[in-house]
Structure 1
Amino acid sequence: MRVIIIEDEKPSARRLKRMLEDLGLKVTIMLHSVEESIAWFKEHEHPDLIFLDIQLSDGLSFEIFELIEIKSAIIFTTAYDEYALQAFKLNSIDYLLKPIDGIDLKTAVHKYQERTPTRQAVTLDFNDIKKMLVNPIDRAYKKRFSVKVGQHLKLVNIDDIECFYSQNKGTYLHTSEGRNYLIDHTLEQLEDELEPHSFFRINRKFYVNINAIRDMVSYTNSRLQIKLNSYKEQEVIVARERVKDFKTWLE
């Protein structure tokens, strides 16, 4: 089986190549732009499988299909969230979220290998996908939380929250004013309610707001220590296994 990778970030391309080779797949070539890919497809026999990044350095990879009739199966690699990816599901295209997980990669490859061996040209309509990327579906993320203060309820706007943390079997939010409030949510429940571009779960106990980060310092065992604007109750540490994803999220 012949495989190619189209990815503008060369370190990511090399990492994916190593992961595929560990699965016993031979990568024929790595391409890094729309222009380079179009030129290559015009001169070479198309591979069996393409791992294709959506956003390349010189445009969206869909531009390749506007000029070339691709005769290969495709697995997209992308950093777009699950809601922007609904169009992929509608078009029956496989995809992997970055940073690519080894188990997910193995599953996607196995899914491809289980398909019929008959190769057909890619005739999918990418208009829905392009629309989703330009105008992604609005997700009803939480805009505010209600907290109990004595016998009263107080509303806290999401922009005023520096972090969420768990302590003594409870979940708390910490505000930019330095106040802590107990809330009726678990950190697992918050995962579906917080806007992912603003909040990141750095370890089992903390979600942090990107706008509240004052400083980041190297910490023991390849971890990072986060300093927030007002939260000082305990150390805020990015778990070692989350550091890479955290750095990607920051960018």
Structure 2
Amino acid sequence: MNVLIIEDEKPAARRLHRLLAELDVTVSTMLHSVEESIAWFSANKHPDLIFLDIQLSDGLSFEIFEKVDVKSAIIFTTAYDEYALQAFKLNSIDYLLKPIDDEELETAVKKYREVNVSKRKIAVDFDDIKRLLVNPIERDYKKRFTVKVGQHIKILIADEIECFYSENKGTYAATSDGRNYLLDVTLEHLETELEPKTFFRVSRKYYVNINCIKDIISYTNSRLKIILNKYNEGEIIVSREKVKDFKLWLE
């Protein structure tokens, strides 16, 4: 197996090299930038497997594949958001979220070996990946949540939740009947659980249900204010960096 590491953080590259050696995987080359990688691919036989970071010191690694037709299998090592990770998984062997976990690395290598992708010459279509970053993968999302109310367990239907919000280190679901329930999850965890066509994270504090939006009002500093049907515990403001994606989501 001919393995290449592309990673701009040299300590991280050395650690990955060491972990792979413990799995009897020999790394032939380590590269650290987009420019260096383009030059290397243009002059060398392409490897069977690449461990690829997304954000390199001189740009995104997508730029490499815009210049060179790489047919190697890829395992991404990245800190991108969940939708990106899911998108990459379509056309790659796996992704590893930094800091890389030993067991996850072993599982990814085992997966590569089992399917023997080097013989199938998988080509990664990066244009499709970029589109998937905007249009998340179709999958099954949570339709209901359970919460404890006194000695009882209550079922909350996802479509009847106007918004999820964080307050005082807790995560709450605000329902269409005007009630608020404490959940045993974080907003970050909900990123992988909520249907993205229905729920959008407008800020660090709020996820909103598109079917429960009563009004959208222009707000200071190019932001937007959202009014929901029942929820009135606090102001829901779309952060400035989220406004563009929010408008696309509405359409």
The match for 1:79 is: 79
CA distance in 2 between counterparts of 1:136 and 1:12 reads 31
Q: Which amino acid aligns with 1:124?
A: V
The match for 2:196 is: none
1:100 aligns with 2:100: yes
Please report how far the alpha carbon of residue 111 of structure 1 lies from its aligned counterpart in structure 2 after TM superposition: 0.5
1:163 to 169, 188, 199: 169
TM-score scaled by length of structure 2: 0.56
Change (3 A) 1:72 1:187: closer
Paired residues in the alignment total: 169
Please report how far the alpha carbon of residue 78 of structure 1 lies from its aligned counterpart in structure 2 after TM superposition: 1.0
Query: Larger % of helix: which?
Result: 2
CA distance in 2 between counterparts of 1:113 and 1:67 reads 28
Change (3 A) 1:121 1:198: same
TM-score scaled by length of structure 1: 0.56
The match for 1:34 is: 34
CA contact (8 A) 1:34 1:59 kept: yes
What 5-or-longer segments of structure 1 have no aligned partner?
A: 141-147, 149-154, 165-171, 174-181, 200-251
1:89 aligns with 2:95: no
* 1:6-85 correspondence runs (5 A): 6-85=6-85
Q: Percent of pairs identical after alignment? A: 57
CA distance in 1 between counterparts of 2:52 and 2:2 reads 14
Please report how far the alpha carbon of residue 115 of structure 1 lies from its aligned counterpart in structure 2 after TM superposition: 1.7
The match for 1:192 is: 190
Please report how far the alpha carbon of residue 82 of structure 1 lies from its aligned counterpart in structure 2 after TM superposition: 2.2
Please report how far the alpha carbon of residue 94 of structure 1 lies from its aligned counterpart in structure 2 after TM superposition: 1.9
Please report how far the alpha carbon of residue 71 of structure 1 lies from its aligned counterpart in structure 2 after TM superposition: 3.5
Change (3 A) 1:90 1:46: closer
CA contact (8 A) 2:76 2:95 kept: yes
Q: Which amino acid aligns with 1:185?
A: L
Change (3 A) 1:156 1:11: same
